[in-house]
Structure 1
Amino acid sequence: MRTRKLFIGGKIRAIRGEQGLTQAGFAQKLGISTSYLNQIENNQRHVSASVLLALAEAFSVDITTLSDQDTDRLLADVSEALADPVTGGAQPSLTDVKLVVQNAPSFARAFLSLHQAMRRSGDQLAELDETLERSGALSEPTPYEEVRDFFHYVDNYIHELDLAGEALSRDLAKSRGISLKALADHIERRHRVRVVIGSGGGSGAGRDEPNGSGLRRFDPVSRVLWLNPRTPASTQAFQIACQIALIEHDTDMTRIIEGARFRSADAAGICRIGLANYFAGAALLPYGTFSAAARELRHDLVLLADRFSTSLEQVAHRLSTLQRPSQKGVPFFFARVDKAGNITKRHSATKLQFARFGSACPLWNAHSAFETPNRIIRQLAETPDGVRYLCLATAVSKPSGGWRDPVQSYALALGCEVAHAGELVYADDLDIARAEAFEPIGVSCRICERRNCHQRAVPPLKRRLIVDPNTRRTVPYGLE
Structure 2
Amino acid sequence: MPSAERKLFLGGRLRRLRRELGLNQSAMAAELGISPSYLNHLERNQRPVTAQVLLRLAELYDVDLKTFAAEGSDGTGLDQLAEIFSDPLFADLGIPRYELLEVTDNAPSVADAIARLYAALIERRQHPDGGAQDETSLVTPEAWVRDHIQAQRNYFPYLEEAAETLAGALSEPALLFEAVRRRLQEAYGIGLRVVPPEVLDFASQAYDVHRKRLMLSSLLRAESRSFGAAYQLALFEFAPILKRMVDMAGAPDTPTRRLLHMALANYAAAAMLMPYGRFAAAAEAQRYDVDRLCAEFGASVEQVSHRLTTLARAGARGIPFFMLRVDAAGNISKRFAGESFPFSRFGGTCPRWNLHAAFQTPGRVATQIVETPDGQRFFTMARTIDRAVRLDPRESSQLAIGLGCDVKHAARIVYADGQDLAKPLVTPIGPACTICPRMRCPQRAAAPAGRTLAINELQKTISPYPFLG
Q: Which amino acid aligns with 1:208?
A: V
Partner of 2:52: 50
Alignment of 1:364 onto 2:340? no
One of 112, 115, 140 as aligned partner of 1:112 = 115
Q: What does residue range 44-193 of structure 1 map to in structure 2 within 5 Å?
A: 46-54=48-56, 60-64=60-64, 67=68, 71-75=73-77, 76-124=79-127, 127=128, 131=129, 133=131, 140-173=138-171, 175-193=172-190
Cα distance 1:472–1:323, how it changes in 2: closer, same or farther (>3 A)? same
Deviations 1:191-220 (A, max 9, x none): 111111225xxxxxx66347xx32211111
Cα distance 1:45–1:424, how it changes in 2: closer, same or farther (>3 A)? farther
Q: CA deviation at 1:351?
A: 2.8
Q: What does residue range 6-405 of structure 1 map to in structure 2 within 5 Å?
A: 7-13=9-15, 15=18, 18-19=23-24, 21=26, 26=29, 30=33, 40-43=42-45, 46-54=48-56, 60-64=60-64, 67=68, 71-75=73-77, 76-124=79-127, 127=128, 131=129, 133=131, 140-173=138-171, 175-198=172-195, 208-209=199-200, 213-398=202-387, 400=389, 404=393
- Report the more deviating stretch, 8-17 or 41-50: 8-17
Q: Which amino acid aligns with 1:67?
A: F
Looking at structure 1, the residues matched to 120 and 91 of structure 2 have their Cα atoms a distance apart, in angstroms, of: 15
Looking at structure 1, the residues matched to 320 and 299 of structure 2 have their Cα atoms a distance apart, in angstroms, of: 21
Q: CA deviation at 1:21?
A: 3.2
Looking at structure 1, the residues matched to 399 and 450 of structure 2 have their Cα atoms a distance apart, in angstroms, of: 32
On the 8 A contact 1:64/1:326 being kept in 2, the answer is no
Corresponding residue SS for 1:434: coil
TM-score normalised by length of structure 1: 0.87
Q: Which amino acid aligns with 1:328?
A: R
Deviations 1:268-290 (A, max 9, x none): 11111111111111110111110
Corresponding residue SS for 1:447: coil
Partner of 1:449: 437
Q: CA deviation at 1:29?
A: 6.7
Corresponding residue SS for 1:439: strand
Looking at structure 2, the residues matched to 6 and 242 of structure 1 have their Cα atoms a distance apart, in angstroms, of: 44
Q: CA deviation at 1:255?
A: 1.7
Q: CA deviation at 1:169?
A: 1.1
On the 8 A contact 1:143/1:267 being kept in 2, the answer is yes
Q: Which amino acid aligns with 1:370?
A: F
On the 8 A contact 1:5/1:47 being kept in 2, the answer is yes
Cα distance 1:329–1:48, how it changes in 2: closer, same or farther (>3 A)? farther
Looking at structure 2, the residues matched to 56 and 382 of structure 1 have their Cα atoms a distance apart, in angstroms, of: 28
Looking at structure 2, the residues matched to 399 and 317 of structure 1 have their Cα atoms a distance apart, in angstroms, of: 14
Q: Which amino acid aligns with 2:161?
A: L
Cα distance 1:430–1:340, how it changes in 2: closer, same or farther (>3 A)? same
Alignment of 1:468 onto 2:456? yes
Looking at structure 1, the residues matched to 117 and 267 of structure 2 have their Cα atoms a distance apart, in angstroms, of: 29
Q: CA deviation at 1:296?
A: 0.6
Q: Which amino acid aligns with 2:120?
A: A
**Structure 1 unmatched ranges of 5 or more:** 200-205
Cα distance 1:247–1:54, how it changes in 2: closer, same or farther (>3 A)? closer
Q: Which amino acid aligns with 2:42?
A: I
Looking at structure 2, the residues matched to 178 and 47 of structure 1 have their Cα atoms a distance apart, in angstroms, of: 50
Q: CA deviation at 1:138?
A: 8.7
Q: CA deviation at 1:448?
A: 0.7
Looking at structure 2, the residues matched to 138 and 12 of structure 1 have their Cα atoms a distance apart, in angstroms, of: 28
Q: Which amino acid aligns with 1:21?
A: S
Deviations 1:386-419 (A, max 9, x none): 0011110001123746874654321000000111
**Structure 2 unmatched ranges of 5 or more:** none
Partner of 1:419: 408
On the 8 A contact 2:25/2:40 being kept in 1, the answer is no
Cα distance 1:166–1:27, how it changes in 2: closer, same or farther (>3 A)? closer
RMSD over aligned Cα atoms: 3.0
Q: CA deviation at 1:306?
A: 0.9
On the 8 A contact 1:468/1:477 being kept in 2, the answer is no
On the 8 A contact 1:377/1:392 being kept in 2, the answer is yes
On the 8 A contact 2:170/2:179 being kept in 1, the answer is yes
Looking at structure 1, the residues matched to 300 and 92 of structure 2 have their Cα atoms a distance apart, in angstroms, of: 47
On the 8 A contact 2:25/2:36 being kept in 1, the answer is no
Looking at structure 2, the residues matched to 164 and 34 of structure 1 have their Cα atoms a distance apart, in angstroms, of: 39
Cα distance 1:21–1:134, how it changes in 2: closer, same or farther (>3 A)? closer
On the 8 A contact 1:380/1:432 being kept in 2, the answer is no
Q: Percent identity?
A: 34
Corresponding residue SS for 1:391: strand
Looking at structure 2, the residues matched to 122 and 401 of structure 1 have their Cα atoms a distance apart, in angstroms, of: 32
Partner of 1:203: none
Aligned residues: 460
Partner of 1:202: none
On the 8 A contact 2:13/2:74 being kept in 1, the answer is no
On the 8 A contact 2:204/2:389 being kept in 1, the answer is no
TM-score normalised by length of structure 2: 0.89
On the 8 A contact 1:334/1:412 being kept in 2, the answer is yes
Corresponding residue SS for 1:470: coil
Cα distance 1:362–1:44, how it changes in 2: closer, same or farther (>3 A)? farther
Q: Which amino acid aligns with 1:315?
A: V
Corresponding residue SS for 1:116: helix
